[in-house]
Homo-oligomer: A and B are copies of this chain.
Amino acid sequence: MSESSPLPVSRIALIGAGLIGGSWALAIRAAYPQIQITLYDHALRHRTEALQQGIATQAFDTLEGAVQDAELIILAVPVGAFPAMMKQLVPVLKPNTVITDVGSTKQSVILAAKASLGDAFPRFVPGHPISGAEKSGPLAARADLFKNKRVVFTPVSETDHDALAKVRLLWEKAGAEVHILDAAKHDEIFAAVSHLPHLLSYALVEELATRPDAALIFSYAAGGFRDFTRIAGSHPTMWRDISLANTEALLKELDAYTRKLAELRSALEASDGAALLALFQRAQKARTDWASGPTG
């Protein structure tokens, strides 16, 4: 930034110092050292770690403290906390404050915002950065987490253009590539490529972990198991909230997947090598094509 560039905002309130919120704040502070970032996080340890990491310039133990004078509020809490958080925000909002979020589901978040924000609803910009890790908390935050990653916005007809433009600029400065999607389409796509795989991975570990000989079984698990179950190390509360917030799309995906497993089971039971090979070949080709493409 040259010194003459105008700041899009001078004071941001970060709600929740997890991996995503913390990394975003680090990226913004790197791009705009002049922007003040105030943090609200209910956990003392998170507030302490966030200040140590340079995620925020000031940390508060109340929402009110953090959002006073903020021109932009970014909600980086599990999506299950949204309805209560929105209600708490309403009385302390300034007339022009922009609000955005980083939730992994978008219809539920828009619904919560619409229900609570009233006149402020047009200044709510629903966002979702496509970048996660199985790690969580402020100590895992990194300024380059969003570099060359996508961030999806799902504005609705009411969404204010200037609010969207401000949030968009900040994300671009954080290194992300901005995409716009319809909220329902967003939720369908992420049920398929993210939410379902998390459920499937948790289910495998749970299935094996509850057996009497789990220790023996796990002792022979290797690289394939490691990759497949890496996302079963993800934050349980966050994934409970996502599951509850995107149930409809997730059930649809789970049912489609269960039908595919039943197909595979039939081929296996019939020792139908040709069918198994054809399926594995199509999947291998699709995986290889994806991995060698721009987003793989």
Residues of A within 8 A of B (CB): 80, 130-133, 149-150, 152, 189-190, 192-194, 196-210, 214, 216-237, 239-240, 243-244, 247, 250-251, 254-258, 260-262, 264-265, 268-269, 271, 273, 276-277, 279-284, 286-288, 290-291, 293-296
B233 near A231 (CB under 8 angstroms)?
A: no
Q: Which of B202, B207, B271 contacts A247 (CB 8 A)?
A: B271
Contacts of A131 in B (CB 8 A): 222-223
CB distance from A101 to the nearest CB of B (A): 18
Q: Which of B190, B194, B284, B295 contacts A233 (CB 8 A)?
A: B284
B206 near A221 (CB under 8 angstroms)?
A: no
Whether A284 contacts B236 in the complex (CB less than 8 A), given A243-B268, A260-B207, comes out as yes
Contacts of A247 in B (CB 8 A): 268-269, 271
CB distance from A23 to the nearest CB of B (A): 13
Q: Complex: how many Å from CA A260 to CA B205?
A: 10
Q: Complex: how many Å from CA A171 to CA B283?
A: 33
Q: Complex: how many Å from CA A229 to CA B291?
A: 10
A220 near B190 (CB under 8 angstroms)?
A: yes
A203 near B257 (CB under 8 angstroms)?
A: yes
Q: Complex: how many Å from CA A290 to CA B220?
A: 11
Can you name the residue of chain B whose Cβ is closest to the Cβ of A213? B189
A206 near B286 (CB under 8 angstroms)?
A: yes
B233 near A189 (CB under 8 angstroms)?
A: no
B204 near A197 (CB under 8 angstroms)?
A: yes
B222 near A132 (CB under 8 angstroms)?
A: yes
Q: Complex: how many Å from CA A162 to CA B207?
A: 40
Q: Complex: how many Å from CA A196 to CA B203?
A: 12
Q: Which of B150, B208, B222, B234 contacts A130 (CB 8 A)?
A: B222
Contacts of A257 in B (CB 8 A): 203-204, 207, 261
